[in-house]
Chains A and B, each alone.
Chain A
């Protein structure tokens, strides 16, 4: 039997390269964070602000945040116990140091997990990535707050946070 080594080898190489490229795209150069897939989480978290990806904070942060929804960054965001349990379960399972590890990359570098940061915008990597954004842009009427990701990252709803 005459095995066509050359085409097979070429095919394997092509596959390998697409895997590498696709892998990069998936990670988006560390700018892709899988968006919230659970409809309840998406609805409850996303009615007031962008439903932030669970992979943007460690599980300890989500736990701490869900433990004090009555005072959620100054607002009352409390939900009933069953809903809270479902949201906490989803967020911690997909957190930056759990199921969402593939997306979080270096987001947790310099972050003390026992310190459980609550603000994504205070993570060292977040600060570093946004250091060039001038003050007037944050105060722009279409931005107003650092929680308003979509104002600049038009594809944030789908998980892409490229420039």
Chain B
């Protein structure tokens, strides 16, 4: 009886682990699929994402001309908000749990694109940017 229980629990644990691992990576891929569908895109480019991340824009706020104003020049390094709070690195290699909550990703795209560009980002831009940070 006890043995059956142990085996069941162990099997359950293994099954849960197998299930849990792809769920994390999967939601990032799901997001890319959604953005691709919305953009009717031929594909995303990490290079374009990098340009979006680093270039200055005049459409947004004067104290945040680019993403790197707060996120920092090095995608693998921590950033800093204007009020002095540290921001986790954007690169997935450094922050592997990032971009696994779609609502959170959308929330920050909405806020940050408005701050830097003065408008929301397009699905194409979101896909490019996500591809860039996944590649880093």
| Nearest chain A CB to B91 CB, angstrom units | 18
B residues near A77, Cβ cutoff 8 Å: 111
- Residue B114 lies at the interface, judged by CB distance under 8 Å to chain A: yes
Using A75-B111, A76-B111, A77-B111 as known contacts, say yes or no to A142 and B84 having CB atoms under 8 A apart: yes
A47, CB-defined interface residue at 8 Å: yes
Is A47 within 8 A of B84, CB to CB?
no
Count of interface residues, chain A, beta-carbon cutoff 8 Å: 20
Contact at B83–A50, with CB atoms within 8 Å?
yes
A49 at the interface (CB under 8 A from B): yes
Give the residues in chain B near A142, CB-CB below 8 Å.
84
Is A123 positioned at the interface, with any CB of B under 8 Å from its CB? no
- What sequence of 0s and 1s flags, for each residue 100-120 of chain B, a beta carbon within 8 Å of any chain A beta carbon? 000100010011001100000
Does A98 have its Cβ within 8 Å of any Cβ on chain B?
no
For residue A86, CB closer than 8 A to chain B, the reply is no
Cα separation A16 to B107 with both chains bound (whole Å): 52
- Our count of residue pairs bridging A and B at CB distance below 8 angstroms stands at 37
Q: How far, in angstroms, from A149 to B30 measured CA to CA in the complex?
A: 39
* Closest beta carbon of chain A to B70's beta carbon, Å: 9
Which single residue of chain A is at the shortest CB-CB distance from B83? A49
With a cutoff of 8 Å between Cβ atoms, the chain B residues found around residue A46 in the complex are: 85
Q: Which residues of B contact A22 (CB under 8 A)?
A: none
Among B81, B84, B114: residue with most chain A CB under 10 A: B84
- CB neighbours of B114 from chain A (8 A): 76
5 additional A-B pairs beyond A46-B85, A50-B84, A144-B83, beta carbons within 8 Å, are: A50-B83, A76-B110, A79-B107, A143-B84, A147-B84
Residues of B within 8 A of A (CB): 61, 81-85, 103, 107, 110-111, 114-115
| Chain A residues engaging chain B, CB cutoff 8 angstroms | 46-50, 74-80, 142-145, 147-148, 150-151
